[in-house]
Structure 1
Amino acid sequence: MKKDIPDNRVEDVAIGVALEKEDIESKLWYVYLINLKDTAIENVLITSKGYGEKNGEQVKTSVLRHMIPQLDAGAYALIEPIDEATFGLSNEYWLSYYIGREIYDKKFIFLPESIVESNFIRLPVLNKPGVMIK
């Protein structure tokens, strides 16, 4: 029954897209998982994909899967590099993890054109400029 499913809310965990390097020709971007909790998270699974419309046609990127055995409290982990060409798409990161025997999951979606300099903040823990969803 639906009432038997626990309502485990994901809090104090974020996905951030950080600008790593910038030169005249290009910018280098990475996606990070940031644990803002005061406890570790374990058996972290992340799937990522991009989708949307580009030049009037539907576009989908490959689905990538990532596993992080443990992410300590107040730590971060690199998920993947991300190409600027996908910023015009919706970039989805589906996160699942355990704390003890409880499972948590949440979908984080960076909407098209949301990864722009006007949305930059100083990402916590990483101390780099970027965009974050919490």
Structure 2
Amino acid sequence: MKKDIEIPKVEDISVAVVKEWNDEKTEEVFNVYLINLQNKQIQNTLVTSKGYGENQSTGEKINTSVLRHFIGDLDAKDFAKIEPIIEEVFGLNNEYWVSFFQNNQMYDKKFIFLPETICDENMINVPLLNKKGVVI
């Protein structure tokens, strides 16, 4: 029965959109990171990302491509870059679905950045990265 299935809760795992300089240090760019704040490694980590929403002026529905990223193992108190993100999609819902194994148990959680929440006013110092960003 559905009620008998135990769904483990994901804690101390975050996704952050971070503002940083590109490799040439000529312009600011945004990158998305997975952050493991746990004291344990997570294994076989997979992240899917997509954007969706509506054009405010036309009402037309917008969907981006679904991207899949295999991160692999992520050590305790560590982070991994998932992907770059462009400012043009900040007006959409930006969804990151993280799945991983720990102690032979599968975990998964959706992290959704709502439209217009990725902005300077919402940026904080991101744990472990020590850079400004928006964290879920």
After TM superposition, the score normalised by the length of structure 2 is: 0.92
SS at match of 2:8: coil
Greater mean deviation of Cα atoms: 77-86 or 26-35: 26-35
SS of residue in 2 equivalent to 1:85: helix
What's the counterpart of residue 129 of structure 1? 132
Amino acid aligned to 1:18: V
What is the match of residue 122 of structure 2?
A: 119
SS at 1:107 equivalent: strand
Please give the residue correspondences for 1:91-130 in structure 2 after superposition, counting only pairs within 5 Å: 91-130=94-133
- Secondary structure of 1:127's counterpart equals coil
Alpha-carbon RMSD across the aligned residues, in angstroms, is 1.4
What is the CA–CA distance in structure 1 between the aligned matches of 2:123 and 2:52, rounded to whole Å?
Answer: 22
- 5+ long unaligned stretches in structure 2: none
**Secondary structure at 2:118 match in 1:** coil
Structure 1 regions of 5+ residues with no counterpart?
none
CA distance in structure 2 between the aligned counterparts of 1:117 and 1:123, rounded to whole angstroms: 13
Instruction: Give me the identity figure in percent.
Output: 54
Shift of 1:26: 5.4
Superimposed CA distance per residue, residues 32-65 of structure 1 (whole angstroms, 9 cap, x where no aligned partner): 0000000000011110000001232111100000
Q: Look up the match of 1:71.
A: 74
Question: 2: distance between equivalents of 1:69 and 1:130?
Answer: 24
TM (norm. structure 1) is: 0.93
Deviations 1:78-106 (A, max 9, x none): 00000000000000001111102111111
- Cα-to-partner distance string for 1:2-51 (whole Å, 9 max, x where unaligned): 233222000000000000128xx953000000000000000111100000
Which is worse superposed, 118-127 or 55-64?
55-64
Relative distance call for 1:37 and 1:82 in structure 2 (3 A) is same
